[in-house]
C-alpha cells in the first residue's frame, strides 16, 4: 500500500485524490490518509503530490504513518475531488515536526 506521511499536514494540496483509480483517500481537517486495504498499489498518486508526502509502505518514513492511515481512513469521510487547499499550504511544505502538533 501507499501511505500519506507527515508532510501532507497543513499542505493538503489534494492533487492525489484526482488520480486515484479506486478513490481510497479520506479527508481530515489538516491532512488526507489512504485506506491501506483499498489501495491497489498502482503508484500514480506518488508523483502527483507537490509535497512528496505519499510513499510506499516499504519506505522507512512511511512506517510510522501506516497505522495512522489505517485508523483515520475508517473514520474520516471519503474524498474524490480536489478541494481548495489551505491558503498557507506552501508555507508548510517541508516544515519539520508537524506531527502531532499540527495534525488536528
27: helix, strand or coil: strand
Choosing among ligand F3S, ligand SF4, none, which partner's interface includes residue 36 (Cβ < 5 to 8 Å by kind)? Answer: none
Site string for ligand F3S, 57-76 (x = CB under 6 A): --------------------
Contacts (Cβ under 8 Å, ≥6 apart) of 99: 6, 9
Stretch of residues binding ligand F3S (CB under 6 A), selected from 6-14, 35-43, 66-74, 95-103: 6-14
Q: How far apart are CA 77 and CA 26, in angstroms?
A: 5
Residues that bind ligand SF4 (CB under 6 A): 2, 19-20, 22, 24, 34, 39-45
Residue from 12, 28, 62, 66 that binds ligand F3S (CB under 6 A)?
12
Nearer to ligand SF4, 40 or 61 (CB): 40
The DSSP secondary-structure symbol of 56 reads E
H-type helices in 1-104, by residue range?
A: 15-19, 60-73, 89-92
Amino acid at each position: 500500500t501507499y501511505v500519506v506521511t507527515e508532510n501532507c499536514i497543513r499542505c493538503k494540496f489534494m492533487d492525489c485524490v484526482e488520480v486515484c483509480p479506486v478513490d481510497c483517500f479520506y479527508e481530515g481537517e489538516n491532512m488526507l490518509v489512504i485506506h491501506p486495504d483499498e489501495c491497489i498499489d498502482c503508484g500514480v498518486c506518488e508523483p502527483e503530490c507537490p509535497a512528496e508526502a505519499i510513499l510506499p509502505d516499504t519506505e522507512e518514513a512511511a512506517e510510522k504513518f501506516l497505522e495512522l492511515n489505517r485508523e483515520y481512513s475508517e473514520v474520516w469521510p471519503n474524498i474524490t475531488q480536489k478541494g481548495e487547499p489551505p491558503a498557507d499550504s506552501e508555507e508548510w511544505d517541508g516544515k519539520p515536526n508537524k506531527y502531532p502538533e499540527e495534525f488536528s
